[in-house]
Amino acid sequence: MMLRRKFLSIAGAIAGIFLAPPLTAAELLSPADAANWLQKISDASRRMAYEGVFVVQHGSAMQTLSVTNRPTGSTKDSHLSALDGNQREIRCTQSGSLLRVTEGGQVKTEKRLNNRHFPDLLPPNAAALANWYSVKLGEWARIAGLECRQVEIVPKDAYRWGYVICADKDSSLPLKAVMINEAGTPLMQYAFAEIRIGGSPKAETQTSLDTWRMPAQAATTRPIGTETISVSHLPPGFSRVAAVRRTLPNPSGGLRKPGEVEHWVFSDGLTYISLFLEPATHPISSVRGQSKQGMINMVTRQVGPMQATILGDAPWATIEAVATGLETRSDSPDLRGAAK
Amino acid sequence: MKHIETTRQTMPTTQAQPAHEDMLALNLSALIDGELPDNLANQTLKRIGNDAVAQAHIADFLTIGDAMRGLSTPPGDFTDRVMLALKNEPVILAPMHKASNRRPVLWLAAAAMTAITWGLWQSSPNHDVNVPLAALKPADTQSAQRNTDSLPYLAAHQDFTQAVVSAPEMHFSNASLEIRQ
C-alpha cells in the first residue's frame, strides 16, 4: 500500500514535470534582489531539515531517488539513494562525500570531490551568481503538494545555461529545478514527488553509518605537482575551483588501463567544467563530443606533450573557450627536458 | 556533381561504351543533377536501393558537392577522391542533351533519394559525415569505442554535477579549434 502511494505520488510528479505551464510575464529583479533570492534558495537547501523522494529526468532517462538532509551548522549531512536501477548511494558530510555502488553482489565505495546534488544546486555564496545571471520571478506553481514560486536564473551571456527553480513558498527550498539551454529547451529536470520539510529526519543506525567507512586504499586523489599546462583565458566569471591528481573511475569495465590524470575544475558557481590532463601516448586530433540530449559537451585535443579532455554541462562555447585557452607553460620541466 | 563547367552526355553513341561501373557513376551523377531521362532515372533509383556500389558512389558525389559548397569538413583522403572523380569525368565538347519532357515525379524521386541519403548520414554519428555509406560499419565501431573511452571522464566529472544518473551516450565528430598563440 505504501509502495503504491509512493508510486502514485511519483507518477503525479512526473506528470507535473511535463504538464508544467509555460512561464509568462516573469518579473526581472534588480541585482540586489536577485542576489537575495539566490542566497535564500542556497541557504534553504543546506540549512533546512528535509526528507523526500525526487525524480530526475534527462532526455528519455528517468531516475527516482530518496534524499534526507540534516543540517549541521553551516554544512549538511545528506544521504541520497537511487530507488531504481543499480543501488547507488551518496553520503555527504562535513568530512567529504562518498559514493557507494552495489553491483553484482559487490560493494564499491568511491570518494567524490564534491557534494553537490539536488536540491542543493546553488553554491554557498550564491549572491555572486547575480554577476553572471539575471533573476526573474515567475508564476506560482504546486509541486509535491506544496506551493512554490518559479525563479528563472537566466545567463547574461552564451557561456552558461539557465535554470528555472520552483522555490517553496515558506522555506525557499527548491522543489523543482529545470536546466534549460539557450533555446529554452529543458535539458535536465528534478522535481520532488513527496517531501517533508522540517522536523527531525529519521537518524541512521550506527550499523548503517559503519558501512560508510572509507577503505584506506580508496583515497584516490592527491595534490597536483608542477603544472605543465596553463590556461591563458577562461570564460567570464569562471575560475579554477579544484586541481587534483586522481585515478579515473572505470565504470564500463573497459580496456582503459588505470592511470593517474590531473583533474582541474573550473566553475562560475553554477556551471562546472572539468579538464583532464594526461600524457599523450600518440598524436591526438581534436575530437568533439556531445551527449544525445545536448546536455554535455566535450572536446579532446593535444597541448604540447599532454592530452587534454575538457567536458561539462555547458554550452559548446564554454568548452571551446577553455580548450583554446590551454597552452604549454614555457617554464614547464617537460619542455626544459625536451630542449636539452 | 562538379561545379566546374563541363558538358555531359548521358548516353554516348559515338564513343566507345564506358565500362559498366563508369556508366553507373555517370548515371548517378546525372541523376543528382536532374539530367537523367525518366526511364533511366527510375532504373537507377531502383538500383541505389539494392546496390552497395551505387550507394557508395552517390555518397561520394554528395560528399564532394557538400565539400565544394563548404558545408562540411572533408575527410583526409578528400583531395585524392576529388582528383580521381575529375579524372573519370568525361568531358565532351558538344552541346549537352537536355531531357525536354521531365515529369515532376522524377524530381520528387531524386529529391526523396537525396533526402534519404542525407537523413542516413545525419542519423549516423557525426564523425561519419563525408564517409561513404558502405564504410559506415567500421566507423560505428569507432564511435562505440570513443563512447567507452569517454566514460571514465564522464564518471569523474559527475563529482561536480548534480548527478546520480548514469553517463549519457555521446556522439563524436572531428573538431576544428582556432588556437590563439
Beta carbons of A301 and B175 less than 8 Å apart: yes
The shortest C-alpha distance from A81 to chain B (Å) reads 9
The shortest C-alpha distance from B62 to chain A (Å) reads 23
**pLDDT band for position A201 (cuts 50, 70, 90):** low
A165 pLDDT above the threshold of 90: yes
Which of A183, A210, A237 is the last residue in one of the domains?
A: A210
Same domain assignment for residues A178 and A321: no
For B165, the closest of A58, A252, A323 (CB atoms) is: A58
**pLDDT band for position A278 (cuts 50, 70, 90):** very high
The residue range of the domain holding A333 is 220-339
For B152, the closest of A248, A267, A301 (CB atoms) is: A248
Which of A210, A237, A272 is the last residue in one of the domains?
A: A210
pLDDT digits (tens, 9 = 90+) for B106-160: 555 555 555 444 443 343 334 333 333 333 344 456 666 777 788 888 888 887 7
Same domain assignment for residues A254 and A183: no
Same domain assignment for residues A46 and A192: yes
With CA atoms as reference, the chain A residue closest to B167 would be A291
A122 part of a folded domain: yes
The CA distance from A246 to A249, in Å, is 9
- Retrieve residue B55's grid coordinates: 550507394
Torsion angle of C-alpha atoms A13, A17, A20, A22, degrees rounded to 10: 160
Q: What is the ipTM of this complex?
A: 0.81
Beta carbons of A289 and B155 less than 8 Å apart: no
Handedness of CA A129, A132, A137, A138 (dihedral sign): negative
Which of these ranges, A8-17, A121-130, A228-237, has the smallest mean pLDDT? A8-17
- Retrieve residue B163's grid coordinates: 548527478
Does the CB of B174 have a partner CB in chain A at under 8 Å? Answer: yes
Contact, A63 vs A85, CB < 8 A?
Answer: yes
The residue range of the domain holding B27 is 1-181
- Retrieve residue B10's grid coordinates: 548521358
With CA atoms as reference, the chain B residue closest to A285 would be B174
Which of these ranges, A118-132, A164-178, B37-51, has the smallest mean pLDDT? B37-51
The closest of A172, A174, A179 to A271, measured between CA atoms, is A179
Return the SS3 of B150. Answer: helix
The per-residue pLDDT for A282 is: 84
The per-residue pLDDT for B53 is: 77
pTM: 0.66
The CA distance from A260 to A149, in Å, is 45
CA angle A34, A40, A44 (to 5 degrees): 150
Beta carbons of B157 and A116 less than 8 Å apart: no
Please give the DSSP secondary-structure letter assigned to residue A120: B
The per-residue pLDDT for B130 is: 35
With CA atoms as reference, the chain B residue closest to A121 would be B162
Does the CB of B57 have a partner CB in chain A at under 8 Å? Answer: no
The closest of A97, A54, A52, A49 to A69, measured between CA atoms, is A49
Same domain assignment for residues A185 and A253: no
Q: Which domain CATH number covers A297?
A: 3.30.200.100
Same domain assignment for residues A78 and A118: yes
Same domain assignment for residues A206 and A224: no
**pLDDT band for position B88 (cuts 50, 70, 90):** low
For A90, the closest of B157, B164, B179 (CB atoms) is: B164
The shortest C-alpha distance from A259 to chain B (Å) reads 11
Contact, A238 vs A267, CB < 8 A?
Answer: yes
**pLDDT band for position A285 (cuts 50, 70, 90):** confident
Which of A164, A189, A210 is the last residue in one of the domains?
A: A210
A87 pLDDT above the threshold of 80: yes
A291 part of a folded domain: yes
For B162, the closest of A118, A242, A246 (CB atoms) is: A118
Same domain assignment for residues A100 and A67: yes
Return the SS3 of B152. Answer: helix
Residues of chain B neighbouring A278 (CB-CB closer than 8 A): none
Buried residues in B156-172 as b, exposed as e (16+ CB within 10 A): bbbbbbbbbbbbbebbb
Residues of chain A neighbouring B169 (CB-CB closer than 8 A): 291-292
Same domain assignment for residues A204 and A307: no
The CA distance from A34 to A136, in Å, is 8
**pLDDT band for position B162 (cuts 50, 70, 90):** low
- What distance lies between CA A340 and its chain's CA centroid? 44
Same domain assignment for residues A249 and A194: no
With CA atoms as reference, the chain A residue closest to B165 would be A63
The per-residue pLDDT for A145 is: 96
A13 part of a folded domain: yes
Residues 142-161 of B with CB under 8 A from A: 146, 148-157, 159-161
More confident residue, A102 or A320: A320
Same domain assignment for residues A233 and A97: no
Domains of chain A: total: 2
The per-residue pLDDT for B30 is: 75
User: For residue A298, what is the enclosing H or E element?
Assistant: strand A297-303
Domains of chain B: total: 1
A211 pLDDT above the threshold of 90: no
Please give the DSSP secondary-structure letter assigned to residue A219: -
A215 part of a folded domain: no
Rounded to the nearest 5°, which phi and psi values hold at A326? -80, 135
Instruction: Please list, in sequence order, all residues whose beta carbon lies within 8 angstroms of the beta carbon of residue B176, skipping any fewer than 6 positions away.
Output: A286, B73
A168 pLDDT above the threshold of 90: yes
Please give the DSSP secondary-structure letter assigned to residue A184: S
A80 pLDDT above the threshold of 50: yes
CA within 13 Å, CB half, A45: 25
Same domain assignment for residues A176 and A271: no
The per-residue pLDDT for A340 is: 37
Contact, A119 vs A190, CB < 8 A?
Answer: yes
Q: If you average pLDDT over residues A247-258, what whole number do you get?
A: 61
The per-residue pLDDT for B168 is: 72
The per-residue pLDDT for B127 is: 36
Same domain assignment for residues A152 and A12: yes
More confident residue, A8 or B158: B158
pLDDT digits (tens, 9 = 90+) for A97-152: 788 888 788 887 877 777 778 888 999 999 999 999 999 999 999 999 999 999 99
Which of these ranges, A286-300, A302-316, A326-340, has the smallest mean pLDDT? A326-340
